[in-house]
Amino acid sequence: MRQFVATNRHIAFLRERRINTHHEQECRLSEGHIIFLRETARIEPYATFIVGSGFCSMGSFSYSWSEMFPDVVVGRYCCIAHDVKFMGGWHPMRSLSTSSMFYDRQILAYRDAQEDFGVPVPVRHSDETPDFPVIEHDVWIGQGALIGRGITIGTGAVIAAGSVVTKSVEPYSVVAGNPARHVRYRFDEALCRELLESRWWRFALPQFADLDFSDPRAFLHQLRDREEDMAEFSPLPTLGSELIAL
């Protein structure tokens, strides 16, 4: 992960690339703002980071009202509400101890003990830390949810407010609770399958703005009639390395 101090060049570049940092106004950043992101981040136009300093890979027409970890991956058309958290540090469950003292050499207490005893403690366990979550397309994460690591939240899923999500969530599943459990699917099985097969998020919202998306079945029917004449929306993403290099 890299961090850098935003300048007017960064702010203008984000605006030029249609990467937004405010829901309604053009920009909330100012010179001196610290930004965290990965060089490998891929951010599509019309992605919006409404709060915080973390920028992650995010698809078009998605937005977050919560601070984002740079390692999270977000697809298109996602809505992330206020106060959503992502589980951070991980501890080795299969080792003798779960204590960070056994493997984190950056901890001051570890370094003090090594200096006093004159004996370094080698790291003898494998890295068990799971990756940060992958959030697919058209996902709604409600306020105050806690999202675990090493999981995928499937396309069309809904995470109820306050849920603690520790396992992957199926496409179009609505989950709630602590731990989060499947409550129902947003639509019947056939419609969920058709929506996934259509991959409607390939297109930009203005391309189908005149279709009846209030009725998913009607929308799919209309999309099939039109999609042969529609070009998939494949914008050039902005890379984290481009921002860092400015």
- Could you read off the pLDDT of 15-70 as tens digits, one per residue? 999 999 988 877 888 899 999 999 999 999 999 999 999 999 999 999 999 999 99
Among residues 149, 148, 101, 93, the alpha carbon closest in space to that of 126 is found at: 93
The answer to whether residues 66 and 96 belong to one domain is no
Could you report the per-residue pLDDT of 68-112, keeping only the tens digit for each?
999 999 999 999 999 999 998 777 777 788 887 777 777 888 888
242 lies in a domain?
no
Q: What pLDDT sits at residue 94?
A: 76
Task: With respect to residue 139, please indicate whether it lies within any of the assigned structural domains.
Answer: yes
Same structural domain for residues 77 and 160? yes
> 134 with 170, same domain?
yes
Rounded to an integer, the average pLDDT of 170-177 is: 99
Backbone angles phi, psi at 147, to 5 degrees: -110, 125
pLDDT of 123 over the 80 cut? no
Is 245 part of a structural domain of the chain? no
Shared-domain flag, residues 118 and 170: no
> Domain limits at 197?
188-229
Indicate which CATH number applies to the domain containing 74. Answer: 2.160.10.10
Q: Is the previous residue joined to 237 through a cis bond, with omega within 30 degrees of 0?
A: no
Residue type, 83: D
> Which of 169, 168, 174, 198 has its CA nearest to residue 186?
174
Residue 33 lies in a domain: yes
| Judgement on whether residues 58 and 133 belong to the same structural domain of the protein | yes
Q: How far apart are CA 48 and CA 29, in angstroms?
A: 12
Contact between 84 and 135 under an 8 Å Cβ cutoff? The reply is no
**How confident is the model over 181-202, as a mean pLDDT?**
98
Asked if the structure places residue 241 within a domain, the reply is: no
Domain presence at residue 170:
yes
198 with 219, same domain: the answer is yes
Question: Could you tell me if residue 26 is inside a domain?
Answer: yes
Give a yes or no: residue 118 inside a domain: yes
Share of the chain above pLDDT 70, in %: 98
Backbone angles phi, psi at 64, to 5 degrees: -135, 130
Give the DSSP H/E element, type plus range, for residue 114: helix 108-117
* Beta-strand runs (E) in the chain: 2-5, 34-37, 42-43, 48-49, 57-58, 63-64, 73-74, 79-80, 85-86, 134-135, 140-141, 146-147, 152-153, 158-159, 164-165, 173-176, 181-185, 238-239
> Is the pLDDT reported for residue 126 higher than 60?
no
Q: From the candidates 33, 91, 137, 221, give the one annotated as an active-site residue.
A: 91
Query: Do residues 143 and 29 both lie within one domain?
Result: yes
CA distance 139 to 175: 12
User: Are residues 207 and 181 part of one domain?
Assistant: no
Query: Are residues 6 and 46 located together in one domain of the fold?
Result: yes
Q: Return the closest-CA partner of residue 148 out of 86, 240, 219, 60.
A: 86
* Backbone torsions φ then ψ of 7, nearest 5 degrees: -120, 175
- 124: closest CA among 106, 102, 97? 102
50 and 146: one domain? Answer: yes
pLDDT at 61: 98
Give yes or no: residues 206 and 193 share one domain: yes
- Mean pLDDT, all residues of the chain: 93
157 & 203 share domain: no
Looking at the structure of the chain, the number of domains it has is: 3
Q: pLDDT by residue (tens digit) across 134-150? A: 999 999 999 999 999 99
Q: Is residue 91 annotated as a catalytic residue, yes or no? A: yes
pLDDT given for residue 100 in this prediction: 79
